[in-house]
A and B are shown apart, each in its own frame.
Chain A
Amino acid sequence: RKEVEQDPGPFNVPEGATVAFNCTYSNSASQSFFWYRQDCRKEPKLLMSVYSSGNEDGRFTAQLNRASQYISLLIRDSKLSDSATYLCVVDSSASKIIFGSGTRLSIRP
């Protein structure tokens, strides 16, 4: 089993829709969780950290479910500019984080 697993997609949704994707992780001792966004052929950029209490940043909401070992990302009122690959990141030790392979999201007009 991979340490971090994501549905690769692609998710193809209309503009204005709400879309959510999950990411599961295998290490129950993991403490740090992040979502990154990567545009085609560009570097990953930190979208948001994921806290135990959940957190929201504008149209984006991230949540952590420790019991089931997954994190989620919800995007409300999606925009064309949200089209990208979303990478889930989980720490596996004090010196290492693991990137998921990413979920491709395409927003259509």
Chain B
Amino acid sequence: EAQVTQNPRYLITVTGKKLTVTCSQNMNHEYMSWYRQDPGLGLRQIYYSMNVEVTDKGDVPEGYKVSRKEKRNFPLILESPSPNQTSLYFCASSLSARESGYTFGSGTRLTVV
């Protein structure tokens, strides 16, 4: 089944404790992206990747890092999480950035206390 797999689904952590949210897709998509979704603000792009070893900042990159060492994986790293990073996070992949529809992972609900 074609899918984007995110883990974990739920995570509660403490301020400053490094964490990684994993994202993997099995569709051989070149484009991958991370979003956060907050009430009233919609989906905001954090980082995106056009291909292996090519990543770039989205609209809200502060406090986040990503890497794209392989085509299928695009982990999101929070080196020192803060409470304002409490949010619902989605990973998405697509054949291209603009022409194709995106497939989203099931989401990660992160709470930083």
Q: Do A and B come from one complex?
A: yes
Q: Interface residues, chain A, CB within 8 Å of chain B?
A: 31-32, 34, 41-46, 49, 87, 91, 93-97, 99-102
A-B contact count (CB 8 A): 50
**A46 and B101 form a contact (CB under 8 A):** yes
The answer to whether residues A44 and B40 also contact, given A32-B99, A95-B50 and a CB cut-off of 8 A, is: no
- Given contacts A43-B105, A101-B41, list 12 more A-B pairs with CB under 8 A: A32-B98, A41-B107, A42-B106, A43-B107, A44-B43, A46-B102, A91-B97, A91-B98, A95-B97, A95-B98, A96-B97, A100-B42
Rounded to whole angstroms, the CA-CA distance of A94 and B90 in the bound complex is: 21
Residues of B contacting A44 in the complex (Cβ-Cβ under 8 angstroms): 43, 90, 102, 104
Q: Total interface residues on B, using CB and 8 Å?
A: 22
Q: Interface residues, chain B, CB within 8 Å of chain A?
A: 35, 40-43, 45, 48, 50, 56, 58, 88, 90, 97-99, 101-107
**B98 and A94 form a contact (CB under 8 A):** yes
